[in-house]
């Protein structure tokens, strides 16, 4: 019984290198977008990627999580649903669909600095 409690406590504290899901939200960093080459292809969640939907890729948030993405420069924000894994570029915390990047105003620049908040 005590061994089980110690293991649960260790997991909760991240002792084994597991990051609690709650820590992945409320983070700030780089954002990029993806679309044309992936449109219609299967995402990590198993859903078909739609570049025109308000979706995004995140490394650790559970699929189906809705996050508010706020552009640090403009204050503009959009809500997206996590359907894929990524980004795989240093310093970036989220890959937005083409539609989400366009609505946020970061599509033409290609990247932007954003903050994420779980909705």
What's the chain's length in residues? 119
What is the rounded distance in angstroms from the CA atom of residue 116 to the CA atom of residue 64? 15
pLDDT (tens digit per residue) in 2-58: 544 444 444 444 444 444 444 445 899 999 999 889 999 999 999 999 999 999 999
CATH architecture of 22-118: Beta Barrel (2.40)
Q: In sequence order, what are the beta bridge partners of 113? A: 30
What is the pTM assigned to this prediction? 0.78
Write the Ramachandran bin of 30: left for phi over 0, alpha for psi from -120 to 50, otherwise beta: beta
């Amino acid at each position: 019984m005590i061994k089980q409690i110690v293991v649960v406590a260790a997991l909760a504290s991240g002792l084994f290198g597991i990051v609690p899901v709650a820590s992945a939200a409320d983070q700030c960093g780089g954002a990029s977008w993806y679309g044309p080459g992936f449109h219609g292809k299967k995402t990590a969640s198993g859903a078909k990627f739609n570049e025109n939907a308000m979706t995004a890729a995140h490394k650790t948030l559970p699929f189906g999580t809705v996050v508010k993405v706020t552009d640090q420069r403009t204050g503009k924000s959009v809500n997206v649903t996590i359907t894929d894994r990524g980004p795989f570029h240093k310093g970036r915390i989220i890959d937005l669909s083409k539609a989400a990047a366009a609505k946020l105003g970061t599509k033409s620049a290609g990247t932007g600095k954003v903050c994420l908040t779980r909705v």
